[in-house]
Chain A
Amino acid sequence: MTTAYRRLIATCQYFLGVLAILVTRVTFGQTVDLPADYSCSLCHRKQGELWNENTPLTDESNMAGDIHWQKGLRCHDCHGGAPTLDKFKNHRDDPEFRSVRLRTSIPGFCGHCHSSIETMRRFAPSARTDQEAEYWTSGHGRRLRASSRDDESRVDKAVATCVDCHGGHGILAVNNVKAPVYPTNVAQTCARCHANQTIMANRTFNDQPLGHDQFDQWRRGVHGRALLEKGDLSAATCNDCHGNHGAMPPGVDSVANACGTCHGKIANLFAETRMKHKFQEARLPGCATCHGTHETIQPSDELLGMEGTSICARCHNPQNPQYGATVAGEAAARAMRDRLEQLKDQIAQSEALVRAAERLGMEIRGPRFDLRQATDALTNARTLVHSFKPGPLEATLGEGLKVTDQVQAAARAAMREHTSRRVWLAASLVPILMVVALLLIYIRTLTPPSAVEPGEPGSAGH
């Protein structure tokens, strides 16, 4: 290559660089400060002087939004190699160059920085550096490693690696609402593979088929609706139960722990029950047995007790008890449900009385505030149901009922006060009408006016 030819290329690259800056600025409002002699753009962009059909292209339109790009990292920071033309070597001859051509090398490629405490400290000091290690323990990591068995041609290409979830170029920060790993998008991201019947066909975990309908189930469940319809970011999505980089189906014994991540108090109560041990003996997954797995049902009081849609009745059926369910359990379920209904009924009555008093303009703010304690007691009682004993429930419900009694008494007192006002106001009619009667009597005693006063009939003054 002659010097003149090199100069020509350098000049072209300069103008291409300027053009790229302008396009990116206009498109994203971001500054791209690629040096004019940046070696990567020579081959890996369509306008690059040395690009040919066999050279992988980089979609630059995504780059400005890329979190790495925004942090100042450029191609060579991830891919290695020389960033300038002067020092450029063919990739095959460059020991500094890091390839991602092999799927098994992708976790290590990302882990080059993300597993390095020193590197991550510079850019995101609080970020974890064990994702790569976690990944290799995950279902994905294990399957990837097992499928390749040192022969890349046999690798299972459907197994997710970092780029399948986070993207390749144009990786968005995890707190970016458009990121595929943002809470509202996680399930859709997982569903790209896990809801694909073709990909998931014949795949198993612990000899159990993995299935492909988890996403649809989750979407119909209480968590999916909370997240997707209400935008509740605290609602559980795939990674909250299965883990992120170490994603793995929780075992039968650890379901309650997975649920307990958010529902801690309930998990603690459940852990101390006999039912937990019964479930373990029967190899039943803790919470999921009653509440469902991916399609977690909306919790309601109707699940408790022995009537209608109650879940307790499934096992505590006196005619056909399951898994050693007892009659005492049936009685406990009935008792707990009855007491819950009692408090609910009292809260509803209190609410109606308070609202009626409010509408009448009576002072009822104190009892209105106190009524929250009864609602709190109801919430606590619903949690305590998971102890499956009426005893702990009784104390909490008793507190709630005490509050509703007080609120109702206060509301009724306010209504009585209102009635008493009306009675006294009505009583005021008596003196008023007495004055009217006295006036009329007095008018009768007045001397009758002369019949006609000529000339002055219409000079009354009002």
Chain B
Amino acid sequence: MKLLSTLRAFFDERLGLEAVRALARKKRVPNHGCSHFYYLGGMALFLFLVQIVTGILLSLYYKPSPDQAFESVRAIMTEVEFGWLIRSAHSWSANLLIGVLFLHLLTTYMMRAYRRPREMTWISGVLLLGLFMAFGFSGYLLPWNELAFFATRVGTAIVGVIPFIGDHLLLLARGGEDVTGDTLARFYSLHIVVLPLVTFGILGLHLFLVQKHGMSVPVLTAADGEHRTPSIPFVPHFLLRDMVGWYLALALLAALSALFPWELGTKADPFASAPAGIKPEWYFLFMFQTLKILPARLGPFEGEVCGVLFFGLCGLVVLLVPFLDRGGKSRMVLNVLAALAVAFFIFMTAWSWFSGPGQGVRQIMLGTLLVAVVLFLLIPFARAHSAARSAVYVCLAISVIAFLSASGWELMR
């Protein structure tokens, strides 16, 4: 015991741990009907840590060259002890992370947590979402399998349609005219060096701002004044609840890895024709499907160019939400746009995910399931016993019934 006290005194003197302990004792977190959404940030952070650990382990064996990439991933899955688990965890946690970040963004918007003085927290969060999507895009190519290769070819080709700079960006992204070993080297470097460095910087800023400004309280709850909102101590009350979120994320990760193990696929053959059903990761499907259905020309402009510019504009609007929300009509316009964006995302994702013929029932299943999830998230934001809450319940019930009906129909077919 004496040794422990000595060590504590040693580190206290040098690292100022007492100040940290004091902060932990003093820190409190608002406790209200929407406070469960706070845990999404913690889950995202936990999944990011899983990404780092599994990514480091994978990098010990991965070889970023067209001749060896696929073989090295196969070796990871077949020869390295628990390599299959590490790869599956890395792939699934990446997808879960993006999913959690989408929900985090959505609930943050619903809570209007971007209000002054948290504009920079919002902007850094949106940038982080963009960075993690870039992580996903760059990591998708690395196993150098057939699906990844052709999806990357399609994905990078979209960059080429950006007016004026598209050709240069395409050349920069691919390192040549086509997806080759140079592209693989660039994506690998981006995935394990450039993006992590930028992410650490912005994530640090994001966490600092969360710490500086504290958790935002939703408008409804804070109507009587933010400082009168009930709160709980950060340690241990909030920390333990946050840990429950981490464990639930871990459980979801294990369940997904068990139910849908990440496959190795077939080695990419750059000279082969693209196989049918090439798709990007699920979080790019809404963009992919939109660009796919756009006509070649929209008036005097190329369809693809319009699509890319549209999504660029959407991204800019999301980034600038704190400044566009001036209250009153502007807020109403933003809410309508947000609802349309979510509906568009769900519709296009469901359409693209099950894009083959005779897949309509499955499209309805996925679409209604996602709508139900969003409506479920909306419940705390409608006042109890109000018409809005009733409307949410009715819509939720319709979605669930539609989902169950479609599922039953699909099972009976």
Contacts of B237 in A (CB 8 A): 443, 446, 449
Interface residues in A410-452 (C-beta closer than 8 Å to B): 418, 421-423, 425-426, 428-429, 432-433, 435-436, 439-440, 442-443, 446, 449, 451-452
Q: Determine whether B112 belongs to the interface, using a CB cutoff of 8 Å to chain A.
A: no
Q: Output the residue of A422, A428, A442, A458 with the most chain B CB within 10 A.
A: A458
With A361-B84, A457-B217 known as contacts, the answer to whether A426 contacts B258 (CB < 8 A) is: yes
Q: Output the residue of B23, B78, B210, B259 with the most chain A CB within 10 A.
A: B78
With A449-B237, A461-B234, A462-B41 known as contacts, the answer to whether A455 contacts B254 (CB < 8 A) is: no
Contact pattern, B 238-253, Cβ under 8 Å of A = 1, otherwise 0:
1011111001101100
With A422-B258, A461-B234, A462-B41 known as contacts, the answer to whether A358 contacts B229 (CB < 8 A) is: no
Report whether B257 and A425 are in contact in the complex, using a CB–CB cutoff of 8 Å: yes
With A421-B261, A452-B231 known as contacts, the answer to whether A458 contacts B251 (CB < 8 A) is: no
Q: Determine whether B176 belongs to the interface, using a CB cutoff of 8 Å to chain A.
A: no
Q: CB-nearest residue of chain B relative to A422?
A: B258
Q: Output the residue of B41, B250, B262 with the most chain A CB within 10 A.
A: B250
Report whether A459 and B28 are in contact in the complex, using a CB–CB cutoff of 8 Å: yes
Report whether A458 and B243 are in contact in the complex, using a CB–CB cutoff of 8 Å: no
Measured between C-beta atoms, what is the minimum distance from B321 to chain A in Å? Answer: 20
With A432-B254, A439-B243 known as contacts, the answer to whether A458 contacts B213 (CB < 8 A) is: yes
Contacts of B217 in A (CB 8 A): 457-458
CA distance A454 to B226 in the complex (A): 10
Report whether B78 and A361 are in contact in the complex, using a CB–CB cutoff of 8 Å: yes
Report whether A359 and B265 are in contact in the complex, using a CB–CB cutoff of 8 Å: yes
Q: Determine whether A360 belongs to the interface, using a CB cutoff of 8 Å to chain B.
A: yes
Q: Determine whether A453 belongs to the interface, using a CB cutoff of 8 Å to chain B.
A: yes
Of B210, B232, B240, which is within 8 A of A442 by CB?
Answer: B240
Contacts of A435 in B (CB 8 A): 247
Q: How many residues of A contact B (CB 8 A)?
A: 36
CA distance A423 to B262 in the complex (A): 15
Q: Determine whether A302 belongs to the interface, using a CB cutoff of 8 Å to chain B.
A: no
Q: Determine whether A362 belongs to the interface, using a CB cutoff of 8 Å to chain B.
A: yes
Q: Output the residue of B41, B87, B247, B265 with the most chain A CB within 10 A.
A: B247
CA distance A229 to B380 in the complex (A): 71
Contacts of A418 in B (CB 8 A): 261
Q: Determine whether B14 belongs to the interface, using a CB cutoff of 8 Å to chain A.
A: no
CA distance A458 to B238 in the complex (A): 12
CA distance A284 to B337 in the complex (A): 85
Residue pairs across A and B with CB atoms within 8 Å: the count is 134
Measured between C-beta atoms, what is the minimum distance from A273 to chain B in Å? Answer: 44
Report whether B254 and A439 are in contact in the complex, using a CB–CB cutoff of 8 Å: no
Measured between C-beta atoms, what is the minimum distance from A397 to chain B in Å? Answer: 30
Q: CB-nearest residue of chain A relative to B230?
A: A451
Contacts of A453 in B (CB 8 A): 28, 231
With A449-B232, A457-B28, A458-B215 known as contacts, the answer to whether A422 contacts B241 (CB < 8 A) is: no
Report whether A426 and B254 are in contact in the complex, using a CB–CB cutoff of 8 Å: yes
Report whether A433 and B261 are in contact in the complex, using a CB–CB cutoff of 8 Å: no
Report whether B244 and A460 are in contact in the complex, using a CB–CB cutoff of 8 Å: no
CA distance A451 to B231 in the complex (A): 6
Q: Determine whether A33 belongs to the interface, using a CB cutoff of 8 Å to chain B.
A: no
Of A359, A363, A425, which is within 8 A of B258 by CB?
Answer: A425
Q: Output the residue of B38, B73, B238 with the most chain A CB within 10 A.
A: B238
Contacts of A443 in B (CB 8 A): 237, 240-241, 244
Q: Determine whether A53 belongs to the interface, using a CB cutoff of 8 Å to chain B.
A: no
Report whether A421 and B85 are in contact in the complex, using a CB–CB cutoff of 8 Å: yes
Q: CB-nearest residue of chain B relative to A425?
A: B258
Q: Determine whether B31 belongs to the interface, using a CB cutoff of 8 Å to chain A.
A: yes
Report whether B255 and A458 are in contact in the complex, using a CB–CB cutoff of 8 Å: no
CA distance A361 to B31 in the complex (A): 46
Q: CB-nearest residue of chain B relative to A358?
A: B264
Contacts of A454 in B (CB 8 A): 227-228
CA distance A449 to B45 in the complex (A): 26
Q: Determine whether B29 belongs to the interface, using a CB cutoff of 8 Å to chain A.
A: yes
Q: Determine whether B307 belongs to the interface, using a CB cutoff of 8 Å to chain A.
A: no
With A361-B74, A429-B255, A451-B230 known as contacts, the answer to whether A461 contacts B247 (CB < 8 A) is: no
Contact pattern, B 264-301, Cβ under 8 Å of A = 1, otherwise 0:
11100000000000000000000000000000000000
Report whether B266 and A458 are in contact in the complex, using a CB–CB cutoff of 8 Å: no
Measured between C-beta atoms, what is the minimum distance from B85 to chain A in Å? Answer: 7
Q: CB-nearest residue of chain A relative to B214?
A: A458
Q: Determine whether B2 belongs to the interface, using a CB cutoff of 8 Å to chain A.
A: no
Q: Determine whether B207 belongs to the interface, using a CB cutoff of 8 Å to chain A.
A: yes
Contacts of B266 in A (CB 8 A): 358-359
Q: Determine whether B170 belongs to the interface, using a CB cutoff of 8 Å to chain A.
A: no
Q: CB-nearest residue of chain B relative to A454?
A: B227
Q: Determine whether A207 belongs to the interface, using a CB cutoff of 8 Å to chain B.
A: no
Contacts of A358 in B (CB 8 A): 264, 266
Contacts of B236 in A (CB 8 A): 446
Q: CB-nearest residue of chain A relative to B78?
A: A363
Interface residues in A320-366 (C-beta closer than 8 Å to B): 358-363
Contacts of A360 in B (CB 8 A): 261, 263-264
Contacts of A86 in B (CB 8 A): none
With A432-B254, A456-B231, A458-B215 known as contacts, the answer to whether A361 contacts B264 (CB < 8 A) is: yes
Report whether B84 and A421 are in contact in the complex, using a CB–CB cutoff of 8 Å: yes
Report whether B226 and A458 are in contact in the complex, using a CB–CB cutoff of 8 Å: yes
Measured between C-beta atoms, what is the minimum distance from B240 to chain A in Å? Answer: 5
Report whether A361 and B263 are in contact in the complex, using a CB–CB cutoff of 8 Å: yes
Measured between C-beta atoms, what is the minimum distance from A418 to chain B in Å? Answer: 7
Contacts of B41 in A (CB 8 A): 462
CA distance A283 to B238 in the complex (A): 99
Contacts of B74 in A (CB 8 A): 361
What are 9 sample pairs from A and B whose C-beta atoms fall under 8 A apart?
A422-B258, A425-B85, A429-B255, A433-B251, A439-B240, A449-B28, A453-B28, A456-B26, A458-B215
Q: Which residues of A contact B (CB under 8 A)?
A: 358-363, 418, 421-423, 425-426, 428-429, 432-433, 435-436, 439-440, 442-443, 446, 449, 451-462
- With contacts A361-B263, A449-B231, A462-B211 known, what are 8 further pairs, Cβ within 8 A? A361-B74, A361-B84, A449-B31, A455-B227, A458-B30, A458-B215, A459-B214, A460-B234
